[in-house]
Structure 1
């Protein structure tokens, strides 16, 4: 049998074949339809979703943490998955390689989970409570400020400077938190103030 096909007919027939094959590949075949009847539950359906900020750099990308349990309550929640937050105006769901590897950062066995202190003359760090750590920091700051605060300069002008202590702030914060941190540092006289964004 001799088929007489024009170029136009051949292209139409080829296009129809490609369309039919593509529909089957996209899941519209009978075998795929039978498989869809038994739908597996989404693996993150039973997890708690927590929005957070990536801790790495000063860009402050938004992330979503999926966990078994609530990470905000600190109940030893197990992090199952971390991804970029598509609703976040900074990164719109994208993450750099470090941000994409945050799950490994969270689950790292060397991750610091509580304050550590190495006493003078000791060769090892010892665990301490948050209350002890904050009390120690406050006491050391108060002692240093009392000893080194400069209220007036050599000309007798009020300067209110504390030059022996500096502050390095985090940059993965909101504008309001950054403003409050800067105001706190300046209100107690700290002159040396820098931000992680420049480091």
Structure 2
């Protein structure tokens, strides 16, 4: 390639030659930039979702192809966020697809110093057994004055800020059925 052809292909020179000094037109484009397309363009489906980080409830669009997430962007039809996401919401793609994300249950035995992977079923069984054991050991049918209370003060539940009213309703029913009276959540929507 001759020096003259090389200089002609340089975007800065094209900008000045065409009077587009601020590079707002086609002069700043290269063959490479013309060939680029958003990865969302090849999506098979767009699934509506809600950002998992806080209680604002910003709308997200999850772009999927062949069962894999291509990208996650703000939902322009969301009345809450109108297509905008904060830096944490914009990083949801890395949260979901990041290679550093833990993909298994880790357990540290009592007195242990190392985490070990265990199957999800084993972890769920351990949680259920510990909840039952604690409930049975701390359940009160009556209080110190002889009043009927049917409760346990040995368990409590604090829901996260991303839980919606329906989820909080179901959690309240579950924990009330267990006799848990300390049930709170951080829901602000």
Task: Please indicate, yes or no, whether the TM-score normalized by the shorter chain is above 0.5.
Answer: yes
Match status 1:84 vs 2:74: yes
Q: Which residue of the other structure, out of 149, 153, 158, is the alignment partner of 1:159?
A: 149
**Aligned-pair CA distance for 1:106:** 2.7
What 5-or-longer segments of structure 1 have no aligned partner? 1-20, 28-34, 71-76
Match status 1:100 vs 2:90: yes
Match status 1:189 vs 2:179: yes
What 5-or-longer segments of structure 2 have no aligned partner? 1-19
Q: Return the alpha-carbon distance in structure 2 between the equivalents of residues 115 and 45 of structure 1.
A: 35
Match of residue 134 from structure 2? 144
Q: Secondary structure of 1:186's match?
A: helix
Pairwise mapping of residues 1-199 of structure 1 onto structure 2 (< 5 A)? 43-47=39-43, 48-70=45-67, 77=68, 79-197=69-187
* TM-score using structure 2 length: 0.72
Matched pairs, number: 160
**Aligned-pair CA distance for 1:180:** 0.9
- Measured against aligned partners, the alpha-carbon deviations of 1:107-142 in whole angstroms (never above 9, x if no partner) come to 433322222111112211111222111111110000
* TM-score using structure 1 length: 0.68
Q: 1:90 to 1:137 in 2, by over 3 A?
A: same
Say which one has the larger Rg.
Answer: 1
